Amino acid sequence: MRTGESRNGVIMGVGGEGDAVRWISMNTSALAEPGETQPYASVSSFSDITELRSTLEELRAARLEDLKRLALVGEYRDDDTNQHTGRVAHTAELLARTLGWTAK
């Protein structure tokens, strides 16, 4: 905040009961008098986005499951398709490793 720059969408995890984590989004703006470089105060807002993050994770998992099922349908079509899908997956893996990407 010493810079006087606003920060929006800063996400932080806050420990809750047991191992639970609450996810908070923070937006903040510095307040300074005209001509002053140092802010005299800041205004911040906090939003609990725990449920939003959970919903987004569920959607991501569902999308991944859909993609896996579509790939499986393609593999059942015939042996050539199955082999092609495997070759594409292998090539994608080699490209990702060459680029230094890691699995998440």
- Residue 23 sits in which domain range? 7-48
What is the structure's pLDDT at 85?
74
Task: Please report which confidence band the pLDDT of residue 83 belongs to, taking 50, 70 and 90 as the band edges.
Answer: confident
Does 59 share its domain with 94? Answer: yes
- DSSP-derived 3-state class of residue 64: helix
Is residue 73 included in any domain, yes or no?
A: yes
Give tens-digit pLDDT for 14-46: 987 788 889 999 999 988 899 887 888 889 999
Does 65 share its domain with 85? Answer: yes
pTM: 0.54
Does 23 share its domain with 41? Answer: yes
Q: How many domains does one find in the chain?
A: 2
What is the structure's pLDDT at 3?
63
Does 72 share its domain with 42? Answer: no
Residue with tokens 């005209």: 34
Is residue 20 included in any domain, yes or no?
A: yes
* Residue 22: closest CA among 33, 11, 32, 31: 11
Does 60 share its domain with 93? Answer: yes
Is residue 1 included in any domain, yes or no?
A: no
